[in-house]
Structure 1
Amino acid sequence: MCGITAEIAGPAGGVPGTRVQVMLSEIRHRGDAEHFGGVAELPGAALGCNRLAIVDRATAAQPMSDTARNVWATFNGEIYNHAELRRELAGLGHRFQTASDTEVLVHGYREWGADLPLHLDGMFAFVVYDASRRSFLCARDRFGVKPLYWARDGDRLLFASEIKCFLPIQVTPREFPPGHLMVDGAGPHRYDERDDSPLPDGEDELVAGFRGLMDNAVRKRVQTDLPIGVIYSGGVDSAAVLGLAARHHPDVTAITVGFPGAPDLDFAERSCRDLGIRQITRHLEYGELIDSMKSIVQQVETFEVIDIMDSCVMAPAYEVARELGLKVVLVGDGSDESLAGYELFREHPDPVAMSRYRVMNLHRTDLQRVDRLSMMNTVEARVPFLDREVVDFAWKLPMEYKFRDGIEKWILRAAISGVIPDYLAWRPKIRMPQGTGLLFQLIDFARGQETGLDGELLREIGLDQPEAAYFLQAYLDAGYPLPPARYRRPGWDFAANGYFVFQE
């Protein structure tokens, strides 16, 4: 996990590393102190990286090149099938110098070119640059687990992991859409396709198939010699992740936050005792959460009310992970969207379309929150429910397996029963404000604050909640550019099936 920046010139331009270094300085938190500020000045480009060393911690410095120092990569994320790809590429004659997943991108680009993202199983945002040809490939993972932003500045292209990287150089970025790639400035173009192979027939086969996919998704994400944390609420999503992680890794710690006496705390603490899993609980305080709100807006780079509320509550969990010295945590995000866990799916006339739309929007809601909160604490967050095979399965799964007899996420509960206690597997869903004991205090506070924002501006961008003005003011005060509409970002839109359609 890292923070990346890049500047790429036109065919004849030169690129000093000055701006790349300035951009990197805004995201020091995304890397270890000893790996801050790696910059490669190349013919026609400069690449930068703040590295959080997890895979091949000793030798895999970034930006990384091949032995000829022609092909270079700066990379944020984890490639879970890097060992398999390494064996395949070695069989094709490529010689590796490290055991890192970054080097797989270097040799994978040399072998497959723009088809490289199709070979990758993981979460990623990267720029690969061929200095000998002044050619580059940029790509982002299918669901946007890892962030990426870009901008045109004259004949230059700029890339970075967070919006705040662009503020000191006074360039307005746009979001690089998930599941897309760019070659030599053309695009972005979508490379992601959903798997259309048929699901097995029969309830038992479907439940067993989903159980196997979830087990494999968690197993891949705990393949490290480092200790693992799980952000654990006591709900079925994080309980499933925790129970499976404990099966595949010997050193797992559950991290729980909430107000004293909150319902989630009771379930989380009871279940950790029953499962024999170490747990750290951090009690929340209203005053501290209120004091943190403006800082959260600046860190998470959003003014969306629900995302900020969730961020205020969950930020202390990632602080605990940092205090424990953890570099890797697992989270349960993505389940409600792909498995129809929200009440809105019951009421919507087309719950399948709504589910797909919500999944493809996660990059700018839950995933943005998870990335920023974890990386502000120099912690890598991994998301098993957004494993490619898990999402492809859920994408095709009939709604009757997602919502049955008044029980949401039925197939997950059936699949995980026996891995975790039934009082967790079949626990009814309650919303985060009730589960953690937060209720509506933060919203009430924000609603009561005065701002100088023009009412017409609020209406133009679709903000009809009185508390939203407070967060928008904090967002603008942090220097962030105003998006043109509440549910759009410059440069992309959605087709009816939930896929991204790029708009230049």
Structure 2
Amino acid sequence: MCGIAAEITGGGAPVAVGRVKSMLAAIAHRGDPEHYGGMITPPGAAMGSNRLAIVGRESGVQPMADWAGTLWTVFNGEIYNHRELRGELEELGYGFRTASDTEVLVHGYRAWGAELPLHLDGMFAFVIYDATRRAFLAARDRFGVKPLYWAGDEDCLLFASEIKSFLPLGVTPEVFPPGHGMDEAGLWRYDERNACPLPAEEDALVTRFSDILDNAVRKRVQTDLPIGVIYSGGLDSAAILGLALRHHPNVMAITVGFPGAPDLAFAERSCRDLGVRQVTRILGYGELVGNMTAVVRQLETFEVIDVMDACVMAPAFEVARKLGIKVVLVGDASDELFAGYELFREHPDPVAMMRYRVMNLHRTDLQRVDRTSMAHTVEARVPFLDREVVDFAWQLPMEYKLRDGTEKWILRKAVSGIIPDYLAWRPKIRMPQGTGLLFQLIEYARRHRPELAEELLTRLGLDQPEAAYFLHAYLESGYPLPPARYRKLGWDFGSNGYFVFQS
């Protein structure tokens, strides 16, 4: 996990190193202090990294070069199949000097070129530069768990992990779309949903899903570092916690909430029953209100739901940092994949809604998770967005997701016996009710609504009175307005055109 920045010039022209340094300085929080600001300036490029050392902690220094010293990469994320890829590359004659997953990228690019992303199982955003050929490859993981932005033209391209990096340069970046790569020829989509044959018999189908989800969690706890689970006591985080306990000896649950909140009671009871170490952070109204504008700047969004969720969850990542935990698991994306929201019951085409919501996560929930965790220099991993889990859910009939009025039916069946039944079959309640937040932040934002042009609010579709408060904080942070809102009730794909229905 890192914060990365790079500049690549056309024709190998000199690069102003100070620009990349300023981009890194804006995202210093994304790396360990001892790994801040690593830079390299091969002809025609400048590349830098603020590294959070997790895999190959001693040897995985970035930017990293191949054996010839002419191919360089900066990389944010984790490659979960790096050991398997290392074996394939060694058979092809590539020698490794480190235990880092980053080194797989430089050798993998030599071996597979632009097809490299197709070999990767993980969350990633990277830029690779070949100083000999003046060629590059940038890519982002299938669902956008890791962020990447870019700006420029044929003469100069800029890449970085957050919008903040572009503000000192006076440049408005574009979102680098998930499941895409870019080289000198332009931007292309590499990701497609894979065929995932489903068992016809119901019990076999549940067993298959249980195995897939178990493997997704196993891959994400392959570390000697302690693991944290952001734990509400709800179904999704309980499933992740129960599976993590199978595969790692040092797992801690981190729970937040207001005094007397329903989630706290379920989380504390279940941690006692499961024998899990738990740290509970009690929230206070004044603390959350005082942090709201800072959270907007961290998130780089003005969406009310995301800001409220982040205000509540930021203290959990703060706890993880104070405990020295670098890796945490979260239960995000389960509701989108397995019809956890009420809107799936009401929508005329719930399958299309699922696919739209999943492919839009990189600009909503995943952006919130990334910014909130990395603001505290903590890496958040999302097992429900494992590629096999998504491929399974993509083809799973809706009758296995919504059954007899119960949402996420197959998930509940799959984890019954792994977690207590009072968790596996606990009815869903939304975060504001579960944590005890209720409407406190919304009411504050409504009372302190600033004066903004009604034309602007209308154009962005911000018809909630509290939305003006968050938009004002967003604009005060210097962020450019997006072409459209990213949280919508329907499935209008917006102007960028890269949300694609897959059948």
Contact 1:17 1:40 in 2 (8 A): no
Q: Distance in 1 between matches of 2:73 and 2:174?
A: 22
Task: For residue 450 of structure 2, give the secondary structure of its aligned residue in structure 1.
Answer: coil
Q: Secondary structure of the residue that 1:123 maps to in structure 2?
A: strand
SS in 2 for 1:5: strand
Q: Where in structure 1 are there 5+ consecutive unaligned residues?
A: 500-504
Using the TM superposition, give the Cα deviation of residue 491 of structure 1 relative to its aligned residue in structure 2, in angstroms: 7.1
Listed as ranges, the matches of 1:12-161 within 5 Å are 12-152=12-152, 155-161=155-161
Q: Paired residue for 2:174?
A: 174
CA distance in 1, matches of 2:219, 2:16: 39
Give the counterpart letter for 1:325 in structure 2.
G
Aligned to 1:196: 195
In structure 1, C-alpha distance between the alignment counterparts of 2:62 and 2:416, rounded to whole Å = 43
Alpha-carbon shift at residue 176 of structure 1 (Å): 0.2
User: What is the root-mean-square deviation of aligned Cα atoms in Å?
Assistant: 1.3
Alignment of 1:323 with 2:327, yes or no, is no
In 2, Cα distance between the equivalents of 1:268 and 1:255? 9
Give the AA of the match of 2:213. M
Q: Does 1:4 align with 2:4?
A: yes
Provide the residue aligned with 1:301 in structure 2: 300
More moved, 281-290 vs 191-200: 191-200
Q: Between the two proteins, what is the percent identity of the paired residues?
A: 73
Deviation at 1:16, TM superposition (A): 3.3
What is the SS of the residue equivalent to 2:94?
coil
Instruction: Write out aligned runs for 1:156-305 (5 A).
Output: 156-184=156-184, 186-305=185-304
1:492 aligned counterpart, secondary structure: coil
SS at match of 2:59: coil
The residue type paired with residue 423 of structure 1 is Y
**Contact 1:174–1:491 at 8 Å: present in 2 too?**
no
- With normalisation by structure 1, the TM-score equals 0.97
The answer on whether the counterparts of 2:13 and 2:44 sit within 8 Å (CA) in structure 1 is yes
Aligned residue for 1:95, secondary structure, equals coil
| Equivalent residues of 2:483, 2:495 under 8 A apart | no
Residue from 488, 491, 496 that aligns with 1:492? 496
CA displacement at 1:198 relative to structure 2: 2.2
Count of aligned residue pairs for this structure pair: 498
- 1:489 is displaced (CA, Å) by 9.8
Matched position secondary structure for 2:29: helix
| 1:502 corresponding residue in structure 2 | none
Q: Residues 174 and 490 of structure 1 are in contact (CA less than 8 Å); yes or no, is this contact kept in structure 2?
A: no
Deviation at residue 498 of structure 1 after TM alignment: 6.5
Task: Give yes or no for contact 2:196–2:395 (8 Å, CA) kept in 1.
Answer: no
* Structure 1 position 187, deviation (Å): 2.9
Q: Give 1:69 deviation, angstroms.
A: 0.7
Q: Does the 8 Å contact 1:125/1:147 carry over to 2?
A: yes
How far apart are residue 297 of structure 1 and its match?
Answer: 0.1
Structure 2 CA distance for aligned equivalents of residues 490 and 72 of structure 1: 35
CA distance in 2, matches of 1:42, 1:9: 11
**Farther-moved stretch of structure 1 (335-344 vs 150-159):** 150-159
1:60 Cα deviation from its structure 2 partner? 1.0
Confirm or deny: 8 A CA contact 1:175 1:491 kept in the other structure.
no
Q: CA deviation at 1:447?
A: 1.1
C-alpha distance in structure 1 between counterparts of 2:232 and 2:370, whole Å: 18
Q: Which residue of 1 aligns with 2:489?
A: none
> Higher mean Cα deviation, 7-16 or 319-328?
7-16
Equivalent-residue separation in structure 2 for 1:32 and 1:142 (angstroms):
26
**Cα distance in 1 for residues equivalent to 2:276 and 2:295:** 30
SS in 2 for 1:182: strand
1:395 partner SS: helix
Note the alpha carbon deviations across 1:140-168, whole angstroms, 9 max, x for none: 00000000000016711000000000001
- Measured against aligned partners, the alpha-carbon deviations of 1:456-484 in whole angstroms (never above 9, x if no partner) come to 11111111111111100000000000112
Cα distance 1:330–1:266, how it changes in 2: closer, same or farther (>3 A)?
same
User: Normalising to structure 2: TM-score of the pair?
Assistant: 0.97
Aligned twin of 1:310: 309
Does structure 2 retain, via aligned residues, the 8 Å contact 1:257–1:265?
A: yes
Give the structure 2 partner of residue 452 of structure 1: 451
Asked whether the equivalents of residues 176 and 188 of structure 1 are also in contact (C-alpha less than 8 Å), the reply is no
What amino acid is aligned across from residue 449 of structure 2 in structure 1? E
Per-residue deviation, residues 33-80 of structure 1 (Å, max 9, x unmatched): 000000100111111100000001111100000121111110000000
SS of aligned partner of 2:228:
strand
Cα shift readout 1:2-41 (whole Å, capped 9, x = no counterpart): 0000000011411132111110001111000000000100
CA shift digits 1:433-473 (9 cap, x unpaired): 11000100100110111313100111111111111111000
Contact 2:360 2:499 in 1 (8 A): no
Aligned to 1:358: 357
Runs ≥4 residues deviating over 4 A: 488-491
Contact 2:123 2:146 in 1 (8 A): yes
d(CA) in 2 for partners of 1:48, 1:197? 39
Corresponding letter in the other structure for 2:476? D
Given that 1:252 and 1:278 are in contact with CA atoms closer than 8 Å, whether structure 2 keeps it comes out as: yes
Q: Distance in 2 between matches of 1:166 and 1:266?
A: 44
